[in-house]
Each structure stands twice: as C-alpha cells, then as structure tokens.
C-alpha cells in the first residue's frame, strides 16, 4: 500500500493556506523545489518530510513556532573541510517530539545518507578520538563548541555530543577523513574533504531569539531548512552592528595543534536590505596557544557571495547593545546554492563572485512577498584597495550609498575584529574598519589608520578596482604631515612607519587640493531633534551654513523625505506626521557637498 498523507500546503501567492500534516508511516518527498506552508507542520510519529536535490521548506507563521510531531524532516548540507579544519554551522532542525515549538539540537541528529530516503545515524567518537571518519560516518565530539556574547578565546563553550544547542545557536565542527563513494542523485557523500550530512529532526520555524551584547560576538547562523535573505536579517538586527563574520582557514593543515592553525574572518556588510552587499575576504593569521594572534598575516581567504545565506551556514555577529536580535520567517527564501547569490563556504576554485547576466535579481520565491525581479543585481558602488601587511594582503573596501553618513552606520561599516599587531584600516570614531560606506562627494577625506605595535613596519596600498562607480577617476593618499599627495589609482604607495598606531597622518582623497578655508563642519554644526509630541523634525543651523538638502532615510536605505535648496536659515522644521514609527537617518548636506548625519526615533505620544 502506498503511503498516505494529508497535505494542505500552498505556494506563495495562493489564496488558501493551511497546515501540513504527515500521518504515521507516511512521507512527503520533495525534489528540486520548495514546499511552502503558511501555518504549522505536524510530522506524526514516523511521518517524514524529505527535501532532496536542493529542495527547501518555507513557512509563513508570524511569532513562535508551533511545529510538532515525532516524525522528522531530512535535509542535506555539505561541509567543506577535512578532519583537521572547522566549518561553522547552524542546524535547521531540533529534537523531534510531540511537543509544540522549536527544540534543541545535538550532533547525534546527524546521519550518513545511504539512499534517497534512507540513512544511518553517525557514530559519535569518544573525547580522546579527535579524527572524524567519512565511512562509516563518525564525528569527533571534541570539536563541537558554541560562542555566545563573548569576546575571548577562552569563552568558547564545549558542547560535545549534548543535545543542548538552542535554535539559532551556531556551533563549530571539524570534518572527516577518508572518502565515501555512496552516490545519491549524482553526488558522492564524500569525494574528499567535502562531507555530506543528513540533518534529521523537527524543522525550526518562526521567531528565534539570538542573544547579543555590546562589543561582544555571538555565533549564530541560518536556523531554517531553507535559505534566508541575510541582508534583510542584518539590516533589521538593530541590537547588532549589522555585520556578519565568516570563518575561513587554510585547508590541509593536517594538525589539531592551535599554534599551527592559519585562518581568520571575512566580513559581510549588506549596506541595504535589498542588494548584494559587500564582502571582504578573511586575512589568515597564526595563533598562540591562548588564541592570541601572532603578528603578521599568512594568507588570504576567498571572495564569496553572502547575500542569500544557505541552509546550515554559521556566522558571527557582534552586538551594538545588550539584548537580542530576532530571526524571522519573513527572511526565508527559496534559493539553491549558486555562486551568483548564495554560497556555503566552498574551496577557492568555487569562491569567486559571479555576476548575473541581468541587471535585476532572478525570481526568488520568498515568504515576505518581495518581487526580486525588481531588485537591482548591480554591485554596491565601491572602490576596493589592497593593503599589503607583511606577507599578507588586507582588502579594504570604500562603498558609496546616499543613505550613508561619514560616521559609523548600522549594517554598512564593518569593523575589523582581528586585533592584529600589524594592520591597515579605515579610522573612524576611534575604531578600525575594513568596510566604510559614505555618501560620495569629491572633497571627501577618509582617514587611513596604520598599526604596527611591536616594531617598525613597511605598509603598501594600491587601488584594486572601481566597481559600479564613476564619481572619480583618481584616488590619492594624502600625507598630512608632509602635505603630499600620491595617486594610487595605478600605483603602489609605500611608507615605513615607526612602532605605534597612527590614525591622523594619512587619508584617502579624490583630489590633490586641500580643503581650503571653508568653515569647519562638525558634530555640533547642526542640532537635529525629533519632536515627537509635535510630530516634526527640527534642525538648528547656528552657523548659517548654506543647506543644499535635508534627507531622511529608513534603515533599509529608502528615501522617505527630501527637501532641497533650503538656504542659510537658522532653523528648519519638517512634518513627520505621515511616517511610520521607526528609527531613521537624517542627513544634512551643505552647498559645498559636505554632510552630517544623525539617527532619530519617530514614535507616537499621547500629548
């Protein structure tokens, strides 16, 4: 007798929605497509849902998950490392029970595929066995760690084989040695350093809270059995910096000894909610036994596409305030892994950004109802720089967006988290950045910081490429000490510096001329105040600067208010009565194209 099922799932755009119920002893098999369920999923005991050949499950519930049942969802994902290196993961499933809601995950839920719907549970090796094996699949529990609101190497928390990883908590896991020639749908389980895992359990769903703390990092990731729009999540995660950090390391190290590791973190800045964002490759470092970096870099990682985050991908986020950020179903999309839009970390030969042939995104099915075919696939306008530091290359990216200010902006400017003794960076607000996004003006000056704590060092910087940017054809390094300009558009600037940290001598410019005698535009040049009882934005201009524009952007970068040619009045008022309650960015631009920005919060009062 064929299995039976009760199936009321409807695709995005359908007019009728209901839950998906799979009865005992039955299953749903999905091949190369997505299943959309508006409400909850109930997989009854031994009632299973198999997602194969890139299939994914999307759900549309607002609020907490009500998924239930002792049946299991099964979805594949491939690691990219051997038994000596780490991948960062975030499980799409948890323990399967009759209880309602998301449950915790442990590596005992990982399986070795043996057929289209069959698999064998992985063996969990004892603590003293540090080397995972591919066939039969055996996982070393020694390398399973999580990292929550922490900033020191010693604060990694051992999970081992416990079922204690809450939904949304990321974890580290080393890969396996050997090969597994079992082939399913044309793909081997492990042709070598590319282990396929079968995640089996209750599908995660709904709002998932992720703890963050100011200045500290949390390992999280995509917690769903579908891809997510990572840019959408990061721009909405307002208690974080809005930046995701991805671990990469040199392959084939053939050792578990920390002092022989070589790796680091690449940074992804979404810039806007809808767009490909900016990624800077990791710089690889060696490490002391206590986890501290050894000065000098030893290599560089790949340049990956991070806009759409695939199933199982883990990454770090850094808190800007104490609290939580929320992963939601509205971020879920159906997008199979593709170098143009969505990549788990892959070997460097698969790690280059691939441009789409269209100027718009493809049709991406999604929970939020966005029409991706109207979203530009063009790269963020940017200039990419190569900064040579010792034996390694640091990539610095200067991006351009009209919603950006010259100070730190949420989800736009990516701090360097390395803390290496030798480095080059954008110096901003007494912090160090790999990615800086500004609103372009020809007279902008971008402070460039150099750090060489222990000894004199030689630094080199050159412009690599201009991408989707034509605001200027020239870029210079200005040495303010000597008042000299050196064009790096087609040349390398080199300087040897004594030991120390310097953030005020060098800057990047687009012209060779000095700023002249224009009045200084500082943080106190304008007083920007949102008067919520009166529902108006007030801007004081005590120095009577000539104001060209006042613009108001929401946190997705959308322009919601634009006033031009405002003269040199002492004060301006603008009604905000028609705007939604939210945080906005106010940007005032003077007639000589200098600007200052500030965030304001608009909310309703009873006054």
Asked if residue 455 and residue 388 are part of one domain, the reply reads yes
Q: Is the pLDDT of residue 18 over 90?
A: no
User: How many whole angstroms from its chain centre is CA 297?
Assistant: 23
H or E, element range at 5: none
- Round to whole Å and give the CA distance between 252 and 232: 35
407-411, 505-509, 510-514: lowest mean pLDDT where?
510-514
pLDDT reported for residue 514: 57
Give the burial class of 128: count Cβ atoms within 10 A of its Cβ; 0-12 exposed, 13-18 middle, 19 or more buried: exposed
Cβ-based neighbours of 444, under 8 Å, separated by 6 or more: 406, 438, 509, 510
| pLDDT, mean of residues 116-120 | 98
221 lies in some domain: no
Work out the pLDDT band at 358, boundaries 50, 70, 90.
Answer: low
245-249, 349-353, 451-455, 519-523: lowest mean pLDDT where?
349-353
Two tokens, residue 191: 């042709």
pLDDT reported for residue 6: 36
- Round to whole Å and give the CA distance between 304 and 314: 14
Asked if residue 438 and residue 498 are part of one domain, the reply reads yes
pLDDT reported for residue 467: 95
The CA dihedral of 445, 451, 452, 454, to the nearest 10 degrees, is: 150
| pLDDT, mean of residues 520-529 | 76
Asked if residue 138 and residue 17 are part of one domain, the reply reads yes
Asked if residue 554 and residue 509 are part of one domain, the reply reads no
Work out the pLDDT band at 339, boundaries 50, 70, 90.
Answer: low
Classify residue 15 by its DSSP letter.
S
505 lies in some domain: yes
Give the burial class of 248: count Cβ atoms within 10 A of its Cβ; 0-12 exposed, 13-18 middle, 19 or more buried: buried
Percent helix / strand / coil, the chain, rounded to 5: 5, 45, 50
38-42, 107-111, 455-459: lowest mean pLDDT where?
455-459
477 lies in some domain: yes
DSSP secondary structure of 346-404: --GGG-S----SSSB-----BSS---GGGSB-PPPPEEEEEEEEBTEEEEEEEEE-TT-
Asked if residue 185 and residue 74 are part of one domain, the reply reads yes
Closest among 481, 482, 446, 439 to 461, alpha carbons compared: 446
Q: What angle do CA 250, 193, 248 make, to 5 degrees?
A: 30
299 lies in some domain: no
- Round to whole Å and give the CA distance between 488 and 396: 14
359 lies in some domain: no
Q: Is the pLDDT of residue 364 over 60?
A: yes
Q: What is the pLDDT of residues 152-171, one digit of tens each?
A: 888 999 999 999 999 999 99
| pLDDT, mean of residues 21-30 | 95
Work out the pLDDT band at 403, boundaries 50, 70, 90.
Answer: very high
End-to-end CA distance of the chain: 69
pLDDT reported for residue 59: 97
307 lies in some domain: no
> Is 250 or 214 the better-scoring residue by pLDDT?
214
Q: Is the pLDDT of residue 415 over 50?
A: yes
What is the CB neighbour count within 10 angstroms for residue 454? 11
- Round to whole Å and give the CA distance between 508 and 160: 48
Whether the link from the prior residue into 95 is cis, omega within 30° of 0, is no
Asked which of 516, 535, 565 is the last residue of a domain, the reply is 516
Asked if residue 186 and residue 106 are part of one domain, the reply reads yes
Asked if residue 499 and residue 538 are part of one domain, the reply reads no
| pLDDT, mean of residues 524-534 | 89
490 lies in some domain: yes
- Round to whole Å and give the CA distance between 61 and 515: 54
Q: Is 93 helix (H, G, I), strand (E, B) or coil?
A: strand
Asked if residue 16 and residue 139 are part of one domain, the reply reads yes
- Round to whole Å and give the CA distance between 230 and 308: 6
Asked if residue 535 and residue 443 are part of one domain, the reply reads no
Phi and psi torsions of 244, nearest 5°:
-110, 140
| pLDDT, mean of residues 35-44 | 95
Asked which of 462, 495, 516 is the last residue of a domain, the reply is 516
pLDDT reported for residue 305: 86
215 lies in some domain: no
Quick one: how many helices (H) and strands (E) in the chain?
1, 52
> Which residues are 500's β-sheet partners?
452
Cβ-based neighbours of 228, under 8 Å, separated by 6 or more: 222, 308, 309, 327, 331, 332, 333
Work out the pLDDT band at 123, boundaries 50, 70, 90.
Answer: very high
Asked if residue 493 and residue 437 are part of one domain, the reply reads yes
Percent above pLDDT 70 for the chain:
89
Number of domains the chain is built from: 3
Asked which of 516, 551, 578 is the last residue of a domain, the reply is 516
Closest among 342, 430, 434, 346 to 382, alpha carbons compared: 434
Q: Is the pLDDT of residue 3 over 50?
A: no
| pLDDT, mean of residues 581-603 | 83
- Round to whole Å and give the CA distance between 292 and 419: 9
Q: What angle do CA 429, 503, 246 make, to 5 degrees?
A: 65
Mean per-residue pLDDT over the chain, rounded? 88
Asked if residue 455 and residue 385 are part of one domain, the reply reads yes
| pLDDT, mean of residues 221-244 | 97
> Which residues are 552's β-sheet partners?
561, 586
Work out the pLDDT band at 515, boundaries 50, 70, 90.
Answer: very low
What is the CB neighbour count within 10 angstroms for residue 265? 23
CATH number of the domain encompassing residue 540: 2.60.40.3080
Asked if residue 155 and residue 48 are part of one domain, the reply reads yes
| Structural domain that includes position 451 | 380-516
Q: Which residue has the tokens 């919603």?
A: 403
CA distances from 416 to 80, 130, 202, 282, 419 (A): 25, 32, 37, 10, 7
129-133, 241-245, 435-439, 478-482: lowest mean pLDDT where?
478-482
| pLDDT, mean of residues 408-413 | 96
Work out the pLDDT band at 287, boundaries 50, 70, 90.
Answer: confident
Phi and psi torsions of 32, nearest 5°:
60, 40
């Amino acid at each position: 007798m064929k299995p039976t099922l009760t199936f009321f799932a409807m695709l995005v755009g359908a007019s009728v929605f209901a839950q998906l119920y799979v009865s005992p002893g039955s299953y749903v098999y999905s091949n190369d497509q997505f299943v959309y369920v508006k409400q909850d999923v109930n997989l009854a005991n031994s009632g299973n849902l198999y997602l194969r050949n890139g299939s994914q499950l999307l759900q549309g519930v607002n609020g907490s998950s009500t998924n239930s049942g002792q049946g299991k969802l099964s979805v594949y994902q491939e690691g990219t490392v051997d038994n000596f290196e780490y991948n960062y993961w975030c499980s799409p499933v948890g323990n399967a029970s009759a209880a309602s809601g998301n449950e915790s995950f442990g590596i005992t839920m990982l399986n070795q595929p043996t057929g289209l719907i069959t698999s064998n549970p992985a063996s969990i090796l004892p603590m003293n066995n540090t080397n995972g094996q591919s066939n039969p699949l055996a996982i070393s529990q020694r390398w399973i760690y999580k990292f929550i609101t922490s900033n020191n190497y010693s604060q990694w928390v051992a999970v081992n084989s416990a079922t204690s990883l809450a939904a949304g908590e990321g974890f580290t896991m080393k890969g396996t040695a050997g090969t597994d020639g079992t082939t399913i749908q044309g793909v081997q389980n492990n042709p070598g350093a590319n282990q396929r895992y079968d995640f089996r359990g209750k599908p995660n769903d709904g709002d998932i809270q992720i703890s963050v703390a100011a200045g500290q990092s949390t390992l999280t990731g995509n917690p769903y059995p579908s891809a997510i729009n990572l840019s959408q999540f990061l721009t909405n995660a307002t208690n974080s910096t809005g930046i995701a950090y991805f671990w990469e390391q040199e392959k084939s190290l053939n050792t578990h000894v920390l002092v022989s590791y070589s790796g680091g973190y690449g940074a992804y800045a979404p810039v806007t909610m809808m767009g490909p964002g900016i990624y800077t490759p990791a710089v690889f470092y060696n490490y002391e036994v206590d986890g501290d970096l050894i000065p000098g870099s030893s290599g560089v990682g790949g340049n990956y596409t991070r806009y759409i985050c695939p199933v199982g991908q883990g990454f770090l986020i850094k808190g800007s305030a104490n609290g939580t950020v929320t992963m939601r179903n509205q971020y879920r999309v159906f997008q199979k892994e593709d170098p143009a839009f969505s990549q788990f970390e892959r070997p460097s030969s698969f790690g280059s950004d691939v441009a789409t042939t269209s100027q718009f995104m493809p049709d991406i099915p999604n929970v939020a109802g966005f029409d991706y075919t109207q979203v530009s696939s063009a790269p963020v306008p940017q200039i990419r720089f190569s900064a040579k530091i010792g034996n390694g290359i640091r990539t610095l990216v200067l991006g351009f967006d009209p919603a950006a200010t010259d100070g730190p902006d949420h989800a736009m400017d990516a701090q360097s988290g390395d803390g290496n003794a030798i480095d080059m960076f954008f110096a901003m607000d007494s912090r160090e950045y790999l990615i800086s996004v500004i609103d372009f003006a020809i007279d902008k000056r971008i402070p460039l910081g150099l750090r060489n704590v222990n000894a004199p060092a030689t630094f080199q910087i050159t412009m690599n490429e201009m991408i989707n940017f034509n605001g200027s054809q020239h870029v210079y390094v200005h040495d303010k000490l000597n008042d000299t300009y050196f064009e790096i558009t087609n040349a390398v600037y080199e300087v040897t510096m004594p030991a120390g940290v310097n953030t005020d001598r060098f800057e990047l410019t687009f012209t060779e001329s000095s700023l002249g005698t224009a009045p200084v535009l500082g943080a106190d040049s304008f007083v920007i105040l949102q008067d919520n009882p009166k529902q108006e934005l007030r801007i004081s201009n005590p120095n009577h600067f000539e104001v060209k524009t006042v613009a108001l952007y929401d946190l997705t970068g959308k322009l919601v208010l634009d006033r031009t040619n405002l003269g040199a009045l002492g004060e301006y008022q603008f009604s905000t009565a028609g705007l939604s309650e939210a945080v906005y960015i106010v940007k005032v631009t003077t007639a000589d194209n200098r600007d200052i920005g500030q965030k304001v919060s608009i909310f309703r009062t009873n006054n």
